[in-house]
Structure formats: C-alpha cells, structure tokens
Amino acid sequence: MNADVLAELVNRQKDGAILVTHSMGGTIGWRTAIRTNKVRAIIAYEPGGTPFVFPETEMPKITEARFKALSASAMGVPMNDFLKLTKIPIVLYYGDYINLGSENVGEDKWGTEYAMAEQFVAAINRHGGDATLVHLPKIGIKGNSHFLIQEQNNEEIMKLALTWLKSKGLDK
C-alpha cells in the first residue's frame, strides 16, 4: 500500500522524483519504482528490515543472523518488474556497526542486510542496471550509526549523495 501511495504522488510530479529512503523504506522505494516509470533515481540509506527485491527466478542466498529472525530477507518479483529497477541509478549507503557474527545483535543483523544489499546491487548490475553500494568506513567516513543522515557528519553524507546525483546528470 505504501508503494502504491508513493507511486501516485510521484506520478503527480511533472518531472518525476528522486526517492530518498531509509531503513524499512528501502523496499518501498524499490516497489515504487516498479509501479511508476517516473522515479528518476533512488538514494537508500541503510535499507533493510524488509525484503529486498529480486527476480523470482534468481532468489539470493540468505545470510542468517545469530538470531535467525533478524536475518535480512528477499522477495521475488516477475523479471519484467525487476528490470524496471535497472532503468534508474540506485545508490545504497551503509555506516558503521556492520559485523556478521558479532555478539552485538544490531551489528550482526545489519551485517545480514549488507550481505543482502551486495547481492541486490549485483543482481541490478548483472541485468544492465546502475547500482552502487557504499560502505562509508571503506571510503574513510566513520562514526555513523543506522541513522547516518542525522550524525554530526551529515553534511559530508549529503555531499556524497549530491556528488552522486551530479555524476548521473540528476543535479538539476
């Protein structure tokens, strides 16, 4: 229902929309882009907690968390729907505190989400899309919790997204 409502809103925009999602909103973004061709790009901050979208014939390997119920999940959609995600640029940003197998429940849970995000990005790109996965500590940006867009370095995080949008010709 959320994706239906968001798609309706996006369809009302003359020039479409760039979606910025966070956490459980990630799947709403993917599903919205399947429902309308007016999504121009998706910036996803630590998507997870709800299913990532994959072709129903290419379901990913589930990486299990120590507490299995917290493991990342996936849902299959028809290939024609999945291919709609390959028509727009997508970037996923993840902060610190991601560690598969950690005794810290949150780190372990987000480790499974990151593993799913790697497979999601690979699937998009394998089908000719343009998806990018950025783990901020790997590019020297540290100190970000799950709410990375609210941290003290949020201006730096915003500049990353703006630079990415410019690189895709979407900065206007």
Query: What are the backbone angles phi and psi of residue 105, rounded to the nearest 5°?
Result: -55, -45
Query: What are the backbone angles phi and psi of residue 19, rounded to the nearest 5°?
Result: -90, 135
**Domain for residue 109, yes or no?**
yes
At which residue do the structure tokens 């609210």 appear? 150
Q: What is the DSSP-derived secondary structure letter of residue 60?
A: P
**Domain for residue 170, yes or no?**
no
Q: What is the pLDDT of residues 78-128, one digit of tens each?
A: 999 999 999 999 999 999 999 999 999 999 999 999 999 999 999 999 999
33: closest CA among 50, 57, 52? 52
Q: What is the pLDDT of residues 5-20, one digit of tens each?
A: 999 999 999 999 999 9
Find out whether 121 and 92 touch, Cβ atoms under 8 Å.
yes
**Domain for residue 1, yes or no?**
no
Find out whether 116 and 63 touch, Cβ atoms under 8 Å.
yes
**Domain for residue 169, yes or no?**
no
25: closest CA among 55, 11, 40, 5? 5
pLDDT band at 149 (very low <50, low <70, confident <90, very high): confident
**Domain for residue 171, yes or no?**
no
**Domain for residue 122, yes or no?**
yes
Is this structure's pTM higher than 0.85? Answer: yes
**Domain for residue 93, yes or no?**
yes
User: Based on the structure, what is the number of domains in the chain?
Assistant: 1
**Domain for residue 5, yes or no?**
no
Its domain, for residue 154, covers 19-164
**Rg of the Cα atoms in the chain:** 16
Q: What is the pLDDT of residues 21-79, one digit of tens each?
A: 999 999 999 999 999 999 999 999 999 989 999 999 999 999 999 999 999 999 999 99
Please report, for the domain that includes residue 65, its CATH number: 3.40.50.1820
